[in-house]
A and B are shown apart, each in its own frame.
Chain A
Amino acid sequence: MNVRTDVMLRDPLGQADVSLRPAGLHRWIVARKEWLISERGPVHIFAIVWAVAVLVPVIISVFFSLLRAHGLRIQWNISLHAYRDIIESGRWEVVVRTLTAAAAITAICLIVGFPFALWLAKRAKSEKLIQFVWMALTVPFFLDPSARTLVWRGVLGSTGLVNTALMKLDLIDAPMGWLLFSDFSVYLGLIGPYFPNMVMPIYLAILLIDNDLIQASADLGATPAKTLRSIIIPLAMPGIMAGIIFTFVPVMGDSIVPSILGGGKKEYLADTVMSLSTSMNYAGAAAFATIILLLTGILLGLFLLFRRRAVGPGAVA
């Protein structure tokens, strides 16, 4: 019945064939009208609007980073000034620091998230518990990032919850200054909110692994560790890669947590973009945005390359 499904996908209500209809301009108009009221028309129109309103600005900004600008006035000559500035002003350090932080946070999320996702997909028995965890991982997308970050100040500050409590218990004499406005506080603030980004794709990938496959591996005498290594991890790889991207990229570009919990002492990429744009150095901001975009692109490219290799050539349409 291949023929049948193919036909339906192609042309569910038989509107594509116009050979029984008038020819020439009239036929063209009839075809356009049908295209518009069919389901395809709106999608094509939306895709064009989306490209013009959303994708073009991104391309333009890359181009913009190659221009020089004073305030809102653009000078129309192409130069690598903005990029030279990044190196000369020593701001490349920011790139290194941000990438280190993003890599570390991604690694922590992966180490904690993979077993957690595995447990959730294959070991958790109670339907209610699974639903609860799934809900708990969804809700963070809908929380105000500044509000939930701000509270950490009240927890980690020198007069905050942790220091006060420890001093009351006589465990420390003076408040620990490194708790807030440090790499530690930034890491702490970033791990929680981006943990779901890691767990969800891995969970979905593991969920798709047939239980029979895992059972078969055990029946053939494989230890749980061997099953994990040779069955689960390879099959969950697309999910793991997606989790890494969904965690690394937004952490790299997060501007709220470093601003609130970094206290301006340790600058991150997004801080720099903000301060450059505040000082109206938009070409510089665009250059940094381009760098973030480029790093994202490289990661995505690696992901696609990896997936193609894993699935095999030709299998990817």
Chain B
Amino acid sequence: MIAAESFAYKAALREARLIRVAVWVTLIAGFGVTALIYAPVIWLGVLSISVDPLAGLPGAFTMRWYGSLFTSTGWIQPLFISLEVAVIVSVLCMVSAMLVGRALPRLKHGRGLLLGAFLLPLVVPGIVVGIDIFIYYKMFLTFKMGLWSLVLVHFIWAFPFALIGMLVISSRFDVRLLEAAADLGAAPWRRFWDIERPLLMTGVVTAGMFGFMLSLTELPRSIFVAGRTQTLPLFTWAETMSRGSHISLIYCLNTLIAVISVALSVLSVWLLGRRVKS
């Protein structure tokens, strides 16, 4: 009896130890891979203040390169185009995510089909979207590529994310509140403005932020449809591929963009999470 008990006890101990080891291996591997995302971004920041960014180990540090952003101004034009595209995409995302997101949970027919069609770009590689949009609009319809085509592909990329952000909020919206408002005498527009708009606002803001950030940093699709227009990621890309001498400038610029992106995405995910919890 005692022997059996101690055997079971030992087995349990062994099991617990095994699980503890497994958890540690999991965490080291998981956080290790996550580090593969962030280490380059942090290193980007380190290189941006290195005197010699091409030397293996960073030695002396300087803010000189950030200063050179003011003298070497090739990035300003692309930045403004990027911002212009991002703002348009952001607004498009807000409006369309609002219109589609509020109605989708209430649709009776074809809800799954529509959702599938809207989320399709998530599983179509960017390069396919880029080349397909180019072939259709440029080769078949012979449209001139430019700002509008950038807006289009960025919107295709961003809309699924914006819609998901919106659906997180709108699928929790209680349609009976609209009946209650109607019952109290509110006309359709009034119901939308007083009840739906404030309750769905977080979703709309999130959709807009997603749209803005995804557009600001989009590259694989832009490569095909930019025409003569150059966005900031395209500028970085061109400098990278031509192995130009502006590498420090690129590091500085992208460090700034990364800081803004991280701040904005943390903010929007936090906003969404806070709203869902309350």
A161 to B220, CA, bound (A): 28
Interface residue count on the B side (C-beta < 8 Å): 95
A161 interface neighbour in B22, B57, B251, B265, Cβ under 8 Å: B57
Q: Contact check, A289 vs B128: say whether CB atoms are below 8 A apart.
A: yes
A181 contacts chain B at the CB level, 8 A cutoff = no
Q: Contact check, A46 vs B99: say whether CB atoms are below 8 A apart.
A: yes
B146 contacts chain A at the CB level, 8 A cutoff = no
Q: Contact check, A61 vs B236: say whether CB atoms are below 8 A apart.
A: no
Q: Contact check, A115 vs B30: say whether CB atoms are below 8 A apart.
A: yes
CB-CB nearest in chain B for A54:
B156
Q: Contact check, B56 vs A296: say whether CB atoms are below 8 A apart.
A: no
Distance (whole angstroms) from the CB of A199 to the closest CB of chain B: 8
Q: Contact check, B123 vs A249: say whether CB atoms are below 8 A apart.
A: yes
Q: Contact check, B139 vs A293: say whether CB atoms are below 8 A apart.
A: no
Which residues in B have their C-beta under 8 angstroms from that of A46? 96, 99-100
B132 contacts chain A at the CB level, 8 A cutoff = yes
Q: Contact check, A277 vs B131: say whether CB atoms are below 8 A apart.
A: yes
Interface residue count on the A side (C-beta < 8 Å): 99
Q: Contact check, A144 vs B139: say whether CB atoms are below 8 A apart.
A: no
B185 contacts chain A at the CB level, 8 A cutoff = no
Interface residues of B in 141-188 (CB under 8 A from A): 142, 152, 156, 161, 175-176, 178-179, 182, 188
Q: Contact check, B214 vs A137: say whether CB atoms are below 8 A apart.
A: no
CB-CB nearest in chain B for A56:
B136
CB-CB nearest in chain B for A273:
B127
Chain A residues touching B, majority SS: helix
A8 contacts chain B at the CB level, 8 A cutoff = yes
Q: Contact check, B99 vs A254: say whether CB atoms are below 8 A apart.
A: no
Q: Contact check, B125 vs A260: say whether CB atoms are below 8 A apart.
A: no
CB-CB nearest in chain B for A39:
B103
A28 contacts chain B at the CB level, 8 A cutoff = no
**5 A-B pairs with least C-beta separation:** A253-B125, A164-B56, A192-B36, A116-B30, A57-B136
Residues of B at the A interface (CB closer than 8 Å) are 15, 19, 22-23, 25-27, 29-30, 32-38, 40-41, 43-44, 47, 53-57, 96, 99-100, 102-104, 106-108, 112, 114, 117-118, 120-129, 131-140, 142, 152, 156, 161, 175-176, 178-179, 182, 188, 213-214, 217, 219-220, 223-224, 232-233, 236-237, 240-241, 250-251, 254, 257-258, 261-262, 264-266, 269-270, 273
23 contacts between A and B (CB under 8 A): A50-B118, A57-B132, A57-B135, A113-B30, A115-B25, A135-B265, A136-B38, A137-B34, A143-B37, A145-B220, A146-B237, A150-B250, A151-B40, A151-B41, A151-B43, A154-B47, A195-B37, A224-B15, A255-B223, A260-B240, A273-B131, A282-B131, A286-B132
